[in-house]
Amino acid sequence: MAKVTFKEDICKGCQLCTTACPKNIIVMATDRINVKGYHPATVLEMEKCIGCANCALICPDCVITVER
């Protein structure tokens, strides 16, 4: 199973990763705000992740790491 991690403190909430995910499992966390004042991206159902790393490739701030 793939594992996706986010450096939430530097996420600027651009939502590019949410559109790049073919499984639509990345969302913006509405229950918390990071130090920059944005809702950071998070994965809801990690078990559905296929490890494609599209999210990491499209992220302009290198916030996302995908491990297979």
Q: Is 61's pLDDT higher than 90?
A: yes
Three-state DSSP state, 11: coil
Distances (CA, A) of 12 to 29, 37, 64, 66: 12, 8, 12, 18
Q: Number of structural domains, the chain?
A: 1
Q: What is the CATH number of the domain that holds 34?
A: 3.30.70.20
Domain of residue 34, residue span: 3-67
Tokens coding 23: 């499984």
Three-state DSSP state, 44: coil
Instruction: Give residue 1's pLDDT.
Output: 84
Residue 59: pLDDT band by 50, 70, 90 thresholds?
Answer: very high
Which tens digits make up the pLDDT trace of 12-32? 999 999 999 999 999 999 999
